[in-house]
Amino acid sequence: MNPKPDTKVQLTEEKETLLATLYGRAVDSRAKKPILGDTTAADTVRRLDYDFGKLRMGPGDAAGVALRARQLDVWTARFLAAHDEATVVHLGCGLDTRVHRLAPGPGVRWYDVDYPEVMELRATLYPEYAERAGYATIASSVTDPAWPARLPADRPAMIVAEGLLMYLTEEDGTTLLRRLMAHVPGGELAFDAFSRFAIRTQWLNRVVVNAGATLHWGTDAAGVVALSPELEIVENISALEIPGIEKLPTAYRTAARLTALLPGVRDMARMYRCRF
């Protein structure tokens, strides 16, 4: 028998959206052929006193969340394989357990960053992480100028943001990424971003509407390159063409392929891996 949920959740707006991505990973982990296979997410969902049913997240939505998470896992793992001594900055981590999935080596310093309320919930759910060597949490808005000073400045950094940047204003997001890139000696930046069209049509985004959140920052490859003269886009993938999407059941695959034919729709959500 499943244990009764013992952890009350009171998150609103952009903070509440982390429950949708968590649930997406949980649903994927229970699929016959999981994409990410994050069983921790399923365990966490069982412990939370929250109406996940209201998210109306089907297998297709869950696959989208899992594909995005897996792509960022792949990019981060590749970076860590090339850099024994590195920093990972995981911005707007929510309840994601990427550090557990990737199990980085002893030369890696890993920082999970999110709002204090979110970090408090993480500490309740994952108390064992406090003991993890090289791991630290930063309970702060990512836009606060103070916290980046806590990051090591002597080793390359992998900066990861999943489902975060669209919640920031363009000014805040740009300032944040420039501040981080200026603090570390170089590295990579991997994130997903929405287009301006996706921001204008956010009333169609069930996760955002459900949580009462607001999306602000829409951008494209030109906007990403403009972040810094030192930045170069290495990979730029539509969310509808993420590696692995071809393995989804035919109905989802066909829907993705057809919608990807409409340029405005294909570009609504894209994933970027950049070097700086």
Ligand X SMILES: C[S@@+](CC[C@H](N)C(=O)[O-])C[C@H]1O[C@@H](n2cnc3c(N)ncnc32)[C@H](O)[C@@H]1O
Three-state helix/strand/coil letters over 123-184: HHHCHHHHHCCCEEEEECCCCCCCHHHHCCCCCCEEEEECCCHHHCCHHHHHHHHHHHHHHC
Binding footprint of ligand X, residue count (CB under 6 A):
21
Which range, of 11-19, 45-53, 131-139, 268-276, touches ligand X by CB under 6 A? 11-19
Identify residues 168-197 at the interface with ligand X (CB under 6 A).
168
Query: Between 142 and 189, whose beta carbon lies closer to ligand X?
Result: 142
Q: Looking at 42-50, 53-61, 158-166, 238-246, which segment touches ligand X (CB under 6 A)?
A: 158-166
CB 213 to ligand X: min, Å: 8
Query: From the list 94, 104, 148, 218, which residue makes contact with ligand X (rule: CB under 6 A)?
Result: 94
Range 22-61, binding ligand X (CB under 6 A):
22
Bridge partners (DSSP) listed for residue 112: 90, 137
Answer for the pair 19, 47: CB distance below 8 angstroms, yes or no. Answer: no
C-alpha distances (whole Å) from 143 to each of 2, 10, 159, 170 are 39, 22, 15, 11
User: What are the phi and psi torsion angles at 14 (to 5°)?
Assistant: -60, -25
Q: Which stretch binds ligand X (CB under 6 A): 119-127, 149-157, 159-167, 226-234?
A: 159-167
163 forms part of the interface with ligand X (CB under 6 A): yes
Burial bucket for residue 90 (CB in 10 Å: 0-12, 13-18, 19+): buried
141 binds ligand X (CB under 6 A): yes
Alpha helix ranges (H) inside the chain:
13-29, 39-47, 59-82, 98-102, 116-125, 170-183, 196-200, 206-211, 221-225, 250-259, 263-266
Q: Stretches 14-22, 48-56, 77-85, 238-246: which one binds ligand X (CB under 6 A)?
A: 14-22
164 contacts ligand X (rule: CB under 6 A):
yes
Q: Is 97 helix (H, G, I), strand (E, B) or coil?
A: coil
Q: Which is nearer to ligand X, 69 or 274 (CB)?
A: 69
Question: Considering beta carbons, is residue 99 or 164 the nearer one to ligand X?
Answer: 164
Q: Does the footprint of ligand X cover residue 114 (CB under 6 A)?
A: yes
Q: From the list 26, 55, 86, 93, which residue makes contact with ligand X (rule: CB under 6 A)?
A: 93
Residue whose C-alpha is closest to residue 111's, from 71, 79, 147, 83:
147
Positions that interact with ligand X (CB under 6 A): 14-15, 17-18, 21-22, 92-94, 96, 114-115, 118, 141-143, 162-164, 167-168
